[in-house]
Amino acid sequence: MTTNPQKGISAFVSDCMRWALSGGIGFKIYLVALLTVIGVGAFAYIKQFQEGLIITGMSDIVSWGLYISNFTFFVGVAAAAVMLIVPAYILKDKDLHEVVIIGECVAVGALIMCLMFITMDMGGPFKVWHMMPIIGLFNWPSSILTWDVLVLNGYLALNSLVPLYILYCNYHNRAPVGWKYKPFVFLSIFWAVSIHMTTAFLYQGLPARPFWNNPLLGPRFLASAFAAGPAVIMMVLIVIKQKTQYPVDIQIFFKLKRIIVVSAIINLLMLFSEIFKEFYTFTHHSLSAQYLFFGLDGHDSLVPWIWTAIGLNILGTLLFSFDPTKCNPRYLMVAAISLFTGIWIEKGFGLIIPGFIPSPMGEVVDYSPTTNEILITLGVLATGILVVTLLIKPALAILIKFKKATA
Amino acid sequence: MNSSTKEEGQMKTKEILETKSSRRAFMKKLSIAAAAGSAGLVTGGCVSLESSEEMGLKWEEYFKKNYRLMTQEEKDETVARLERLFKLQHNENVQISNQEPQENVLFGYAFNISRCKGYMDCVEACVQENNLDRKAKTQYIRIFEMEPGQLDPTSGDGKYHHEVPVENKFYMGVQCYHCENAPCTKACPTKATWREPDGIIVVDYDWCIGCRYCLAACPYWGRRFNWGEPEVAEEEITKKQHYLGNRMRMKGVMEKCTFCIQRTRQGKLPACAEACPTGSRVFGNLLDPNSEIRYVLKHKKVFRFKEELGTDPKFWYFID
């Protein structure tokens, strides 16, 4: 397949590794910092592995905590890619086509975080083979969790293999052959929607938890993801624009901003709809929402978090909607961080924890993560950031090289 | 451990192992070496504390199938291994049964809310019988103290700690309801929990990966997770055990009430029903028209908890 025998796979791999790791002193410090956080997280995980999940803040009442909250949120971030893929490949948008690869790298990083969070949360991580099709016993189609395993791994494969093929062609100064990858691009669009809906169905399908058992959960999950995901991509693009030679056109920011504004407004509308339903006619099923927004029986550990989240949500939406600076990167960075953090708290903590409170037996307890749990979570986040960095660097190097060669 | 018991033990496992093919024997030798390495990694290098026999057994246990896919021979083998492991670790004998459900039996439970006085003898008996973690104070059964005018245990007090009975209060026991349409078994990604033909919802502790999706799915809070390594004082361990029942659990797996499968499949009452001093607990075969439970369902006013969820529990409350 290769035109030049000196190139091929081994040259591609070694060049990519070189590009991934090369950089100035600032980049080296950044890498060491990430590796330190990962190391501390790994150490914390060994402790959890030996002693069991008892060293987390979880209990039989709040049986999922920080890990599953973050898992849920980052499934949303993984969707970010699709908001670039649709305009780039379907609407043939030239600007967004330039950065679609960055969206895909972010998706891969987010998915790796998701899979790690799931593993960290397991009581028996060595028994994970029990859940694999064929060698284990896969409770498909009955268990939504098995669907989630399929869609997440499938999405990871799609989002790794398509860019890999395109970059591999570009590396050899060839344009990729459309029919070889386009079908997978179309597939990945539907697949992105499916990872959201399936993850939402994990919760939505449980009548035991009225807070989750709500048909708006899935759609709202999509809307928030389509706001938070592109916000992450925007943050990455701003960093790329300022730290590398890769050209990021101002038009890209305009277009991303438009996507974010529409999604964020739909998200807020649905949030309002949910709040209305919970509080206009207060039923027994509204107790979780009561706990989340106002506290219940003297327990109110989530109240400051959720109001901060809603504040940041509204602030981010307003900043994106009325941008007097016409896409000044600093301004956009503030707006993106604000919206991203707001949705992170709300779609993570604010979605998972109240589902367990009050318990089906009416008990109200507070959950707060332990230090060990937070360290593991930070370790996973650092791993995700590292993966994204190490993917984007060689990808951009190849794209720049290809542009020069074809110019 | 003295040498004679150890020798005796080795003879016993040898017998078990020699009944199998030579491939098994080869696998065992291979596995001992590999297990030594991996166990060392996991336990932080205290390999010397574990005999090679123990590690070999653990290794074979690791690769066994889901209980429901095992042949009778495989079920007997795993039970033998587990009994031997317990002997090695505690120098005590336990009997682990793998008794199958009986024909034409469907277990059901009824709880008399007019009689229960909240003494909690049932809770105590359950903890003893089922080897529940004493450190985490795990309980399958909980008793809620109720105000008149309520029938929903979520509005009662599940943490009362005073002399009972209290004037003008009544008591409601809750536990796993062994639903016919159980949301927990549907949720499990590995089929590690299921409904047996006699109606008991069981967990294959060795197959459970500890994702806790079943716990989130249960509308009755009927499941308990082993957040840490469960602890039961050696002299308090109930030695008559069942593979799907009260055998010792390990950290990171789900457990729950099994209607005392180790007792009820032998025709005995569950420990809670036997211990109840007021006769509030009625247990029996729903398929036997002459059983007490059938009498209660026919002649008393009965109701079930969260009937609207369509889970079809096999646990009724009734009023005299």
Average pLDDT of the residues in B141-161: 94
Q: Which residues in chain B touch residue A363, judged by CB atoms under 8 angstroms apart?
A: 158
CB atoms B216 and A63 under 8 Å? yes
**Contact pairs from chain A to chain B, CB under 8 Å:** 140
CB atoms A122 and B209 under 8 Å? yes
Write the CA distances from B208 to A74, B13, B59, integer angstroms: 26, 26, 17
Distance CA(B13)–CA(A167), nearest Å, equals: 57
Chain B residue nearest residue A352, CA to CA: B216
The pLDDT value recorded for residue B259 is 98
Lowest mean pLDDT among A208-217, B48-57, B263-272: B48-57
**Residue A384 burial (CB < 10 Å; 0-12/13-18/19+)?**
buried
Lowest mean pLDDT among A70-84, B15-29, B101-115: B15-29
Average pLDDT of the residues in A141-158: 95
The pLDDT value recorded for residue B19 is 44
For residue A386, give the nearest of A4, A10, A65, A39 by alpha carbon: A39
Question: What distance in Å separates residue A350's CA from the closest CA in chain B?
Answer: 16
What is the 3 state secondary structure string of A113-168? HHHHHHHHHCCCHHHHHHHCCCCCCCCCCCCHHHHHHHHHHHHHHHHHHHHHHHHH
CB atoms A121 and B211 under 8 Å? yes
Under a CB-based contact definition with an 8 Å cutoff, are residues B246 and B153 in contact?
Answer: no
Average pLDDT of the residues in B146-156: 93
CB atoms B154 and A362 under 8 Å? yes
What values do phi and psi take at B160, rounded to 5?
-65, 145
B contact test, residue of A46, A51, A53 with most B CBs within 10 A: A53
Q: What percent of chain B has pLDDT over 70?
A: 84
CB atoms B225 and A202 under 8 Å? no
Distance CA(B68)–CA(A19), nearest Å, equals: 52
The better pLDDT of the pair B317, A8 is held by: B317
Q: Which two tokens stand for residue A165?
A: 């093929």
Q: How wide is the angle at C-alpha B221 spanned by C-alphas A302 and B97, nearest 5°?
A: 140
The pLDDT value recorded for residue B44 is 46
Exposure string over B72-96, b if 16+ CB within 10 A, otherwise e: eeebebbbbbbbbbbbbeeeeebeb
pLDDT confidence tier of residue A2, bands split at 50, 70 and 90: very low
Would you kindly state where each structural domain of chain B is located, as residue ranges?
Answer: 3-93, 97-320
Q: Express each pLDDT in A208-225 by its tens digit.
A: 999 999 999 999 999 999
Domains defined for chain A, CATH in brackets: 57-369 (1.20.1630.10)
A259 contact partners, CB below 8 Å, separation of at least 6 = A83, A226, A230
Q: Which two tokens stand for residue A49?
A: 């592995």
If one counts every other C-beta atom within 10 angstroms of the C-beta of residue A368, the result is: 13
The pLDDT value recorded for residue B14 is 45
pLDDT confidence tier of residue B65, bands split at 50, 70 and 90: very high
Average pLDDT of the residues in A271-276: 93
pLDDT of residue B254 exceeding 80: yes
pLDDT of residue B194 exceeding 60: yes
CB atoms A355 and B189 under 8 Å? no
pLDDT of residue B47 exceeding 70: no
The pLDDT value recorded for residue B72 is 96
Q: Which residues in chain B touch residue A61, judged by CB atoms under 8 angstroms apart?
A: 221
pLDDT confidence tier of residue A4, bands split at 50, 70 and 90: very low
pLDDT of residue B41 exceeding 60: no
Lowest mean pLDDT among A129-143, A176-190, B35-49, B266-280: B35-49
pLDDT of residue B261 exceeding 80: yes
pLDDT of residue B12 exceeding 90: no
Distance CA(A77)–CA(A106), nearest Å, equals: 8
The pLDDT value recorded for residue B32 is 52
If one counts every other C-beta atom within 10 angstroms of the C-beta of residue A35, the result is: 13
Average pLDDT of the residues in A143-165: 95
If one counts every other C-beta atom within 10 angstroms of the C-beta of residue B148, the result is: 7
Structure-token match 């943490």, residue found: B159
Q: Express each pLDDT in B209-231 by its tens digit.
A: 999 999 999 999 999 999 999 99
The pLDDT value recorded for residue B17 is 43
The pLDDT value recorded for residue B4 is 46
Q: What percent of chain A has pLDDT over 90?
A: 85
CA A90, A95, A97, A101 torsion-angle sign = negative
Question: What distance in Å separates residue A209's CA from the closest CA in chain B?
Answer: 7
The pLDDT value recorded for residue A80 is 76
Q: Which residues in chain A touch residue B226, judged by CB atoms under 8 angstroms apart?
A: 52, 123
Exposure string over A111-149, b if 16+ CB within 10 A, otherwise e: bbbbbbbbebbbbbbebbebbeeeebbbbeeebbbbbbb
CB atoms A124 and B69 under 8 Å? no
The pLDDT value recorded for residue A3 is 40
pLDDT of residue B181 exceeding 50: yes
CB atoms A145 and B189 under 8 Å? yes
Q: Express each pLDDT in A19-71 by its tens digit.
A: 999 989 999 999 999 999 999 999 999 999 999 999 999 999 999 999 999 99
A34 contact partners, CB below 8 Å, separation of at least 6 = A382, A385, A386, A389
Q: Which two tokens stand for residue B119?
A: 């003494």
Distance CA(A287)–CA(B45), nearest Å, equals: 49
Q: How wide is the angle at C-alpha B282 spanned by C-alphas B281 and B286, nearest 5°?
A: 150
| Prediction ipTM score | 0.93
| C-alpha distance across the termini of chain A, in Å | 23
Question: What distance in Å separates residue A130's CA from the closest CA in chain B?
Answer: 6
> Beta strands B95-97 and B170-174: pairing type?
unpaired
Mean pLDDT taken over chain B: 89
Under a CB-based contact definition with an 8 Å cutoff, are residues B233 and B214 in contact?
Answer: no
Cis (ω within 30 of 0) for the bond into A358? yes
The pLDDT value recorded for residue A407 is 77
> Beta strands B315-319 and B107-112: pairing type?
parallel
The pLDDT value recorded for residue A90 is 86
Average pLDDT of the residues in A188-216: 94
pLDDT confidence tier of residue A108, bands split at 50, 70 and 90: very high
Under a CB-based contact definition with an 8 Å cutoff, are residues A302 and A258 in contact?
Answer: no
For residue A206, give the nearest of B213, B252, B139 by alpha carbon: B213
**Architecture of the domain defined by B97-320:** 2-Layer Sandwich (3.30)
pLDDT confidence tier of residue B40, bands split at 50, 70 and 90: very low
Chain B residue nearest residue A353, CA to CA: B216
Under a CB-based contact definition with an 8 Å cutoff, are residues A59 and A365 in contact?
Answer: yes
pLDDT of residue B31 exceeding 70: no
What is the 3 state secondary structure string of A249-309? CHHHHHHHHHHHHHHHHHHHHHHHHHHHHHHHCCCHHHHHHHHHHCCECCECCCHHHHHHH
Under a CB-based contact definition with an 8 Å cutoff, are residues B133 and B230 in contact?
Answer: yes
Chain A residue nearest residue B44, CA to CA: A50
pLDDT confidence tier of residue B30, bands split at 50, 70 and 90: low
pLDDT of residue A99 exceeding 80: yes
Mean pLDDT taken over chain A: 93
For residue B282, give the nearest of B265, B259, B310 by alpha carbon: B259
Distance CA(A312)–CA(A335), nearest Å, equals: 9
